[in-house]
Each structure stands twice: as structure tokens, then as C-alpha cells.
Structure 1
Amino acid sequence: MSGAPILPISRTAAATACSLSGIVFIIPKPSARIVIAVGEPCHIERQIGMSELEPMQQTLHALEK
């Protein structure tokens, strides 16, 4: 573990164009409304056991919904 905090970030745009290649890009169209949300940093200690890490994983997965 690097000791760097996990910063939850989400984004969406009202009107987008997507790439058809293997890499997916979400490109907002001109005058599209864009919303970016940034959550509170989640600090995880460098020396953490798997039993302590699992509740943190569940918390982060709950933020995805």
C-alpha cells in the first residue's frame, strides 16, 4: 500500500459522444451540462490486515451505487 488516500470521483455529462475503439472516451458535446462530484478522501493505513480492509472495501463499493 502506498499510503495515498483514495479519492472517490464521479462524473457525468448530459450529451456525450463515445469512442468506438477499444478505449472508451466520454467526450461532452458542445454546450453539454457536466457534473463532477468529489467525495471525502478515504485514508487507509500502510500496514493493515485483510480483516480490517474488508469493511473499507464494502464502504467504497456502497459509494458506487
Structure 2
Amino acid sequence: MMIKKSLHCPACGSADFLADVGATWDVERQEFVVVTNFDICTCNTCATDFDKPEERILAEEGTNN
């Protein structure tokens, strides 16, 4: 069973933020693949920098929540 969650800025609650990551180009998939997270996020709504987004549980897969 998989629990779905959303991530939010701890200062304003927005889900609109960027995470600083390292990525490499995957030739087979023709897309960037994230290989590391540098633990810094920036909120696009309030411009706060933070290292841990707030998690909110949305629903458990297979339930009607």
C-alpha cells in the first residue's frame, strides 16, 4: 500500500517551491534523472529558503480518501 503525500513550504504552506538537486541526462529515457538532493528548497510564493518541506498525507492508495 502506498501513501500519497504532498510537500509544502513550512513558512506559508504553498506547494509551489523549487528543490536544489543534481541531475544527469538519461539518453535512453531522453530526460533528466535526479541523482541527489542538496537539501535546500526555495518557495516561489514567499521566497523562504528551507531544508525540510512540510508533508501532508493526501490518501492511501486503494482507499476512497
Q: TM-score range by the shorter chain?
A: under 0.3
TM-score of the two chains, using structure 2 as the length reference: 0.27
| Greater share of helix | 1
More strand as a share of residues: 2
